[in-house]
Amino acid sequence: MTMVVENLNDMTVARNEYAVYVRDCNVLLKLYRDSIAVIDLTNATKAGKTCKKYSFIFTDADNGYCGLNQFLDDLLFSEFAENCRKGNYAKNSERLHLFGISYHEAELKACRVASPFAAVKKQNFATGKINGAKLAKAIIAGQVQEIVCTGRYTDDYFSDAAQNFCIGRKVTDLIKFAAELLEDTTCFGAERTKNPKVIALGWGTWENYEAILA
pLDDT (tens digit, 9 = 90+) per residue, 29-44?
Answer: 999 999 999 999 999 9
- Answer whether residue 80 shows pLDDT above 90: yes
Radius of gyration over alpha carbons of the chain, in Å?
Answer: 19
CA distance 45 to 172: 22
Query: Which of the four pLDDT bands, split at 50, 70 and 90, describes residue 62?
Result: confident
68 neighbors 36 (Cβ within 8 angstroms): yes
With contact defined as beta carbons under 8 Å apart, do 107 and 50 qualify?
yes
**Would you state the pLDDT for residue 61?**
86
How confident is the model over 89-110, as a mean pLDDT? 96
Own/partner pairs, 5-13, CB within 8 angstroms, 24+ separation: 7/77, 7/78, 8/77, 8/78, 9/76, 9/77, 9/78, 11/65, 11/68, 11/69, 11/72, 11/77
- The predicted model gives 52-76 an average pLDDT of 95
Q: What value does the mean pLDDT take over residues 169-189? A: 97
**Can you list the pairs that 123-127 forms with residues at least 24 positions away whose Cβ atoms lie under 8 Å?**
125/192, 125/196, 125/199, 125/213, 126/196
Share of the chain above pLDDT 70, in %: 100
**pTM score of the predicted model:** 0.93
Is 90 exceeded by the pLDDT of residue 190?
A: yes
Amino acid, res. 40: D
- The pLDDT of residue 87 is above 90: yes
For residue 179, give every residue at least 6 positions away whose Cβ sits within 8 Å of its Cβ, in sequence order, or none.
2, 19, 113, 114, 136
- pLDDT tens profile 122-132: 999 999 999 99
CA–CA separation, 211 vs 51, rounded Å?
Answer: 28
- Can you tell me the mean pLDDT for 160-186? 96
CA distance 24 to 1: 20
- Residue 1: pLDDT band (50, 70, 90) is confident
Three-class secondary structure of residue 12 per DSSP: helix
Per the document, the length of the chain is 214
